[in-house]
Amino acid sequence: ITLSLFCLLLAAPKWHELSSEYTFDQYISDYSKNYAKGTREYDQRKIIFESKLQEILSHNQNTSHTYKRGINAFTDMSHQEFKQSKLGYSKGFRSSRNQQFRQLLLNNKKITPEQIAELPKSVDWRDHNVVSPVKDQGHCGSCWAFATVAVIESHAAISADKHLKVLSTEQLVNCMSNEMQCGGQGGCNGAVAELGFNYVQLFGLTSEYKYPYQSYQGKSSQCTWDHATMTPEVTVDGYLKLPVNSYEHLLHAIATVGPIAISVDASKWHDYEEGVYSGCDVTQNIEIDHAVTLIGYGTDEKLGDYWLVRNSWGTKWGENGYIRLKRESTPQCGTDYTPGIGNACRGQNDAQKVCGQCGILSDSSYPLNVRVVG
């Protein structure tokens, strides 16, 4: 089966417009899919689509759910295809990354209840004009690079009095090495945000205009950035890693510092459309498989507390490219029993405790002293 992802059209129905009468042929038209009737691919895609449509309709009829599911460009993909196409951590090796990276600063300073009480009730860094438009990684497993760049863009804008620069993701995808295979084998085959921060500390980061994204189809190119002669736009002085599974540290950091790079289990996010997502079951395997950007938090009067997360699947997915995840001050914890698939490095495969909805508290970091130099 070949993959076929194209731009979504505004005519596609939203969750409240869907019914069992919506056909596969309508879906093909709405999403500009290229399947010929009578072919094996058409038949296989139709089976997948019809099964998912019934799941979506059944879910949305249950008023106890805090989020709605809908159709999108992923609805005719198998679960495995979706994971291969849109998630950015590849099969690899898991280990403590503390010994692997050039610089690691761990913030173990205790956050007191008084500090938490002083935080604002809600935070959305988009309101401060320091968040660039949502991007689309395409078929490339480059979520790690998009999360790295999004966080650096925002911190650069914060430090430069809201002068927002759109920076190059392709530079990281093409030029950053990943010898320890942390989160994958590098490029479109996965890496982690900390490696991205390390790279920018060493070589800086240029603009999207000078080095545009070209890996959408899933294949990265040779690095064309000459570190010796070309001048970057932004540089950093390393990064800070928050304590694992700490609600207080993540809440305090997103409120007082800026956007944060985080790792999550996004394996069931494919048909999220709106609401506060609570679909990750901690009694099952929580497989950390995707890097995203935490932008803020808040409380929905009807749906409860949430984390505001920016994804890299384009603006036609979710809430204009964002997802709200259920937020609990006393978060539930589960276990990643398949640590060989995820954000680890070569050498160890121990199961790992992960807390918060979709493991949102398990792995978070941000760059230090981001400076605009170009």
Task: Give catalytic residues, as residue numbers.
Answer: 143, 290, 311
- CA atoms 231, 234, 239, 245: torsion sign: negative
CA 34 to chain centre: 28
- The residue with tokens 């954000």 is 343
- The residue with tokens 């603006």 is 315
- The counts of H helices and E strands in the chain are 8, 14
Q: What is the DSSP string of 115-147?
A: HHHTS-S-EEGGGGT--PPP-B-TTSB-HHHHH
Q: For residue 129, give every residue at least 6 positions away whose Cβ sits within 8 Å of its Cβ, in sequence order, or none.
A: 157, 162, 164
Neighbours of 305 (CB within 10 A): 17
Residue 53 DSSP label:
H
| Rg over CA atoms, the chain | 20
CA nearest neighbour of 334 among 370, 281, 297, 371: 281
Phi and psi based region of residue 260 (left: phi greater than 0; alpha: psi -120 to 50; beta: remaining): beta
Q: What is the DSSP string of 283-313?
A: TS-----EEEEEEEEEEETTTEEEEEEE-SB
- Token pair recorded at residue 174: 């093409």
Q: What is the DSSP string of 144-179?
A: HHHHHHHHHHHHHHHHTTT---PBPSHHHHHH---T
